[in-house]
């Protein structure tokens, strides 16, 4: 596992203590998985905890007929799989590699031992869980209160980061497919494609390579509120 990938993951988690960093590196086992691999299967009873060093994963529920219900998406520098270790209960969701992924893997016991010894690791996990609760609450509100285009505007804004070239704009460096974006907001691919094309036609969104540029995020936010 590359030093740079570890460094970026620790920075994303805000783990600054050198001893905590070294302990995680020495304790974890490395794993590489190809895109499309199921990392955690719904209803599994293991307690492994994962630190995503490189790549991206999606979190889904599987219905009785095998249909995926999209729940979340994680990028590099996040911890997942901790709920089964915390509760001792079977896995409640499926986690699938969206891209090729490099992972650091620990047993629940080893992870909790590190948390007891290094407070920064526990704080990092607490922040992750708090953010997930916040995002879930936001999506529940949007699903009940916003139209499908409004939910798409909200998700585009949530996925974006301030542009390095123009402070008034925001960028999605890994533009989602229309299918992925539709799953994120619980609507159809056709509605998503029509909404994104409308934003592009109005000059509010630009596509460049594999990225989306949100040209006027403030206006998009006002459109979201009015939807």
**Contact of 171 with 213, CB cutoff 8 Å:** yes
Please give the Cα distance from 119 to 109 (Å, whole number): 16
Number of residues that this document lists for the chain: 227
In this predicted structure, the answer to whether residue 156 has a pLDDT above a threshold of 80 is yes
pLDDT at 67 over 80: no
Structure confidence by residue, pLDDT tens digits, 32-44: 999 999 999 999 9
pLDDT of 226: 86
Asked whether the predicted pLDDT for residue 191 surpasses 90, the reply is yes
The tens digit of pLDDT for each residue in 83-129 reads: 998 999 999 999 999 999 999 999 999 999 999 999 999 999 999 99
SS3 labels along the chain: CCHHHHHHHHHHHCCCCHHHHHHHHHHCEEEEECCCCEEECCCCCCCCEEEEEECEEEEEEECCCCCEEEEEEEECCEEECHHHHHHCCCCCCEEEECCCEEEEEECHHHHHHHHHHCHHHHHHHHHHHHHHHHHHHHHHHHHHHCCHHHHHHHHHHHHCEECCCCCCCEEECCCCCHHHHHHHHCCCHHHHHHHHHHHHHCCCEEEECCEEEECCHHHHHHHHHHC
Q: Is the pLDDT of residue 64 over 80?
A: no
- Checking if the pLDDT of 1 tops 60, the result is no
b/e burial code for range 127-153 (CB count within 10 A of at least 16 → b)? ebeeebeeeeeebeebeeebebbbbbb
> Which residues is 32 bridged to in the sheet?
102
Banded model confidence at residue 167, pLDDT cuts 50, 70, 90: confident
The average pLDDT across 13-21 equals: 95
Of residues 167 and 60, more confidently modeled: 60
């Amino acid at each position: 596992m590359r030093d740079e990938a570890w460094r970026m993951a620790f920075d994303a988690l805000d783990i600054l203590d050198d001893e905590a960093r070294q302990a995680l590196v020495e304790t974890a086992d490395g794993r590489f998985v190809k895109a499309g691999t199921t990392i955690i299967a719904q209803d599994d009873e293991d307690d492994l905890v994962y630190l995503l060093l490189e790549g991206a994963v999606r979190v889904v529920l599987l219905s009785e007929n095998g249909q995926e219900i999209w729940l979340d998406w994680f990028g590099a520098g996040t911890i997942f799989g901790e709920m089964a270790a915390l509760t001792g209960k079977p896995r409640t969701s499926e986690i699938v590699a969206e891209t090729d992924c490099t992972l650091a893997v620990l047993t629940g016991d080893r992870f909790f031992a590190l948390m007891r010894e290094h407070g920064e690791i526990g704080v990092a996990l607490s922040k992750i869980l708090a953010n997930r609760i916040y995002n879930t609450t936001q999506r529940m509100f949007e699903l009940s209160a916003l139209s499908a285009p409004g939910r798409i505007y909200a998700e585009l804004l949530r996925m974006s980061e301030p542009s390095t070239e123009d402070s008034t704009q925001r960028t999605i460096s890994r533009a989602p497919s229309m299918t992925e974006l539709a799953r994120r907001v619980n609507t159809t691919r056709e509605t998503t494609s029509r909404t994104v094309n409308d934003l592009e036609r109005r000059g509010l969104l630009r596509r460049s390579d594999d990225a989306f540029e949100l040209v006027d995020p403030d206006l998009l936010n006002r459109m979201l509120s009015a939807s």
